[in-house]
Structure 1
Amino acid sequence: MSTNTPQTPPSSSFAPARRQFIFGTAVLATFGVAGFVGGMSARHSAWAQGSTVSDADFAAFMHLSQYLTGKTTLDVEIARAIFAGLHDEDANVATQVAQINDFVARSKTPANALQAALDSTQPALAGLPKRIMPAWYLGVVGSGKKARTVAYEQALMYPPIADVIVMPSYARGAPGYWAQPPHLSHS
């Protein structure tokens, strides 16, 4: 017994309407990502090209950062992000950096005594080292709603303890490593 039912052609998985949809979605996604990344890099390049921040200002910031941290080598990209964040908070940060560098050169103040010296003699400048040091050691510029993360594992607080303490959010072993009881020796 054969039934004569009208046979419909098998539907193509890539019918023209579906192809157009997929193509349109891909194009839209590409332009969306390109626009987002382009906007990000335009913002970064505008700062990097010195939109009110000169190379001399950045060099002065690096000099002060090296003096405050006691590190002769600091990551330049992190330094740029820190300086940009500080500059976003206060447009006069470059002037303050230069004034602190001048103060240190004139007074020959050691880094461990700088904060006390600024607090007593230059209170208008005393807040800047308190913003620079947490940025380098914690990897965060600013506080509260204006806080911006500029470094994580590169933050200066991690290398000294890297051989003893695992950074937060990184697993210390295989999943569930803590579930097995320790093996006790019965000697």
Structure 2
Amino acid sequence: MSRNNNERELQSLSRRKLLKAGAALGAGGLLGVQLPVSAALAAEPGVAPFMELSRLLVNHQLDEGVGQRMWQLLQQENAQLDRQVSAVLEIAHANNAKIVEDFFPAIPEGELQDLAYQVIFGWYAGCLNTSKTAESFAFAQALTFQNTADVISIPSYGRTGPNEWADRPNVPVLPLRDF
């Protein structure tokens, strides 16, 4: 009988711990507490300068997790990324830049300007290039999605439109234009 009581105490204790942990996570979500995508990645020495440069190039609230993922993908493509980020930041600091217009004309054409354009494109598009094999690192956090989030239609299981369950033929979908 004492064994059953001990098992019940352990079960209720684990349930209690689970309930407390769930409440803590829920409260953290309500308070807007954001944990970095990866603590190891956040500790990388190149992430902080990359986010500083991103905030100068893009005048929006930028998500740290998205920035970490973008930095990681850029790092895989470009072995000189940290050096280039430092060079563009030096130009920005030399011009006492607060926004992109303060220093962008001073960035020399070539790899540094290409990097600046790629970072700007990445924040808006959620991927680094327009190829068919481009890896997406953001969708709902991409800035172009944020601009249209209030007017994008809600996905539906309806056959021809939201809440249309009648037996009608599907409307043909035209291919999207390629810009």
* TM-score normalised by structure 1 residue count: 0.56
Shift of 1:131: 0.8
Aligned to 1:131: 118
Percent identical pairs in the alignment equals: 23
Cα distance in 1 for partners of 2:156, 2:57 equals 33
Per-residue CA distance 1:60-81 (angstroms, 9 max, x = gap)? 001111111112x322221111
Aligned to 2:69: 81
Whether the 8 Å contact between 2:50 and 2:85 is mirrored in structure 1 is yes
3-state DSSP class of the match of 1:80? helix
For the pair 1:94 / 2:82, whether they are aligned, the reply is yes
Cα distance in 1 for partners of 2:79, 2:127 equals 18
Shift of 1:54: 6.1
Shift of 1:153: 1.5
Per-residue CA distance 1:72-119 (angstroms, 9 max, x = gap)? x3222211110011111111101111111111000234403544321x
For the pair 1:144 / 2:128, whether they are aligned, the reply is no
- Pick the aligned partner of 1:166 from 120, 128, 152: 152
Name the CA shift for 1:88/1:145 in 2 (closer, same or farther; >3 Å).
farther
Name the CA shift for 1:112/1:146 in 2 (closer, same or farther; >3 Å).
farther
Whether the 8 Å contact between 1:86 and 1:142 is mirrored in structure 2 is no
Whichever residue aligns with residue 160 of structure 2, its letter is: G
Cα distance in 2 for partners of 1:150, 1:82 equals 6
Alignment gaps of 5+ in structure 1:
1-43, 181-187
Per-residue CA distance 1:108-155 (angstroms, 9 max, x = gap)? 34403544321xx45341110111111111000244365211111211
Cα distance in 2 for partners of 1:87, 1:146 equals 17
Q: CA RMSD in A?
A: 3.1
Whichever residue aligns with residue 48 of structure 2, its letter is: A
Aligned counterparts, 1:19-168, within 5 A: 49=40, 55-71=44-60, 73-109=61-97, 110-112=99-101, 114-118=103-107, 121=108, 123-144=110-131, 147-163=134-150, 165-166=151-152
Whether the 8 Å contact between 2:118 and 2:128 is mirrored in structure 1 is yes
Per-residue CA distance 1:14-54 (angstroms, 9 max, x = gap)? xxxxxxxxxxxxxxxxxxxxxxxxxxxxxx97xx646xx96
3-state DSSP class of the match of 1:160? helix
Whether the 8 Å contact between 1:166 and 1:172 is mirrored in structure 2 is no
Q: Which has the larger radius of gyration?
A: 1
